[in-house]
Structure 1
Amino acid sequence: MDTSSRTLDPSMGELRVGTKAEGPAARLGHDLTLVMDVWIAEVSWVDGRPGAVILTVQSASLSVLRGDGGVKSLSGAEKALVRSNALRALDVKRHPTIGYRSDEIVATDGGYRLAGSLAIHGKTHPRAIDLQVTDLGDTWRLTSDSVVRQSEFGVKPYSLMMGSLRVADDVTVSFSANLAKK
């Protein structure tokens, strides 16, 4: 049996979080694209196939890439406020990391299905993630989109104007990376 491990980090890809504005005043708010700037994924390989994945994300590394929609575009000060509100909601001082650990990886037609556990805000729940793999010759392109319900992990979505403008409970986590073939 041939075993090895590989490490993926932000130099190889990106981990984004997409939010949507909702409520009666949603048109005033922005759909946000956030980026997690510090993360590491350790992938264990057995006989040329992924056997386990451990992803660790530094919660405080969150930055605001952009805000779409709204009455006007987000200013630098507004991006800083959005970041501050998100870090407060995640309670990064008490919960400095977000993690995923696979228990099982099964090959699918377009890649792999990872079954494991996701830990956010001090709560851990089972989570399956479908990872698409595209062969680009010298590299593999890895992509995944998953919906995460914030309240499932004890995170209260931000709201203002007595709840008439709020961040939707469901956020989309998108991962993409290029992994060089050995």
Structure 2
Amino acid sequence: DVVVRREGPLARFGHDHVVSVRGLEGVVLLDEAGAASRADLRFRLEDLAIDTAEGRARYQLDTVPDEKAIEGTRANLMEHVLDAGQWPLVTVRLDDFSFREEHYSAMVTVTINGAQSSSRQPFRLQSSDETVRVEGSLVLRQTDLGLEPFSALGGGLRVADPLEIHIRLTGTRLAGPEATATR
């Protein structure tokens, strides 16, 4: 999920948003030492879910936009912010894994609209014979991804530059201990 906050002197007239990724697909390869571990994930922008009741409750967002507002947010996001017609996919690559005791991190590279942002990010990992579960949170700035945060009313109502990204992935192991497909 991505939580997008409102800001500006007129922020009380807007609302925060939660954008949920649906249809994530990819591969996670894990080895014991971590050096050869990597993950390649992707999703289509058209599969994003905007401001679902479940997502808004999960992050305790304090406003409830109506269907017209949600549709307007989706149209603005797809056309003016993300340019989904030109760049329909978002990719996320994790590599340079580090496993030290109970602490895990990886270099995370997000590619959106042809721009990339990379940073080392911590995460939690649970693994069994059948599944792998990854959880973590990070903050990315829209401007670091080449995106321009939405602004209205002469800048009085704006979308905040930082994006709060919350990751919860569960993968099912395929053939062998190192191959995993996400769901």
TM-score bin (small chain) = 0.7 to 0.9
Please give the alpha-carbon distance, in whole angstroms, between the structure 2 residues aligned to 1:82 and 1:113. Answer: 33
1:79 corresponds in structure 2 to 70
Deviation of 1:160 after TM superposition, in Å, equals: 1.2
The answer as to 2:111 corresponding to 1:126 is: no
1:94 aligns with 2:79: no
CA distance in 1, matches of 2:18, 2:108: 25
Aligned residue in 2 for 1:69: 62
Q: Secondary structure of the equivalent of 1:20? A: strand
Residue identity matched to 2:94: S
1:178 aligned residue (156, 167, 170): 170
Please tell me whether the aligned partners of residues 33 and 99 of structure 2 are also in contact (alpha carbons under 8 angstroms): no
Displacement after TM superposition at 1:141 (Å): 3.6
CA RMSD of aligned residues (A): 2.4
What aligned pairs does 1:16-95 form with structure 2 within 5 A after superposition? 16-47=1-32, 51-64=37-50, 65-66=52-53, 68-70=61-63, 73-88=64-79, 89-95=81-87
What's the secondary structure of 2:169's corresponding residue?
strand
Instruction: Give the TM-score normalised by structure 1.
Output: 0.79
Change beyond 3 A, Cα 1:146–1:107: same
Structure in which a larger fraction of residues adopt strand: 1
* Displacement of 1:140: 4.7
Alpha-carbon distance, 1:180 to partner: 5.1
1:130 partner letter: P
Summarize deviations over 1:111-170 as a string: whole Å, max 9, x none.
Answer: 421114221111113222222124689755421111110111111111211111111000
Paired AA for residue 76 in structure 1: E
Q: Report the alpha carbon displacement of residue 57 of structure 1 after superposing the two structures with TM.
A: 1.8
- C-alpha distance in 1 between matches for 2:9 and 2:129: 49
Per the alignment, residue 7 of structure 1 pairs with none
When structure 1 is superposed on structure 2, of 44-53 and 122-131 the one drifting more is 44-53
TM-score normalised according to structure 2 size: 0.79
Structure 2: 5+ residue runs without aligned partners? Answer: 178-183
Task: Give the total of aligned pairs.
Answer: 165
Counterpart Cα distance in 2 of 1:111 and 1:178: 18
Unaligned runs of 5+ in 1: 1-15
- Please name the residue that 2:181 is paired with: none
> Does the CA-based 8 Å contact 1:41-1:54 persist in structure 2?
yes
Aligned twin of 1:163 = 155
Shift of 1:63: 1.6
Please list the CA deviations of residues 71-90 of structure 1 after superposition, one character each: whole Å capped at 9, or x if unmatched. xx211111111111111210
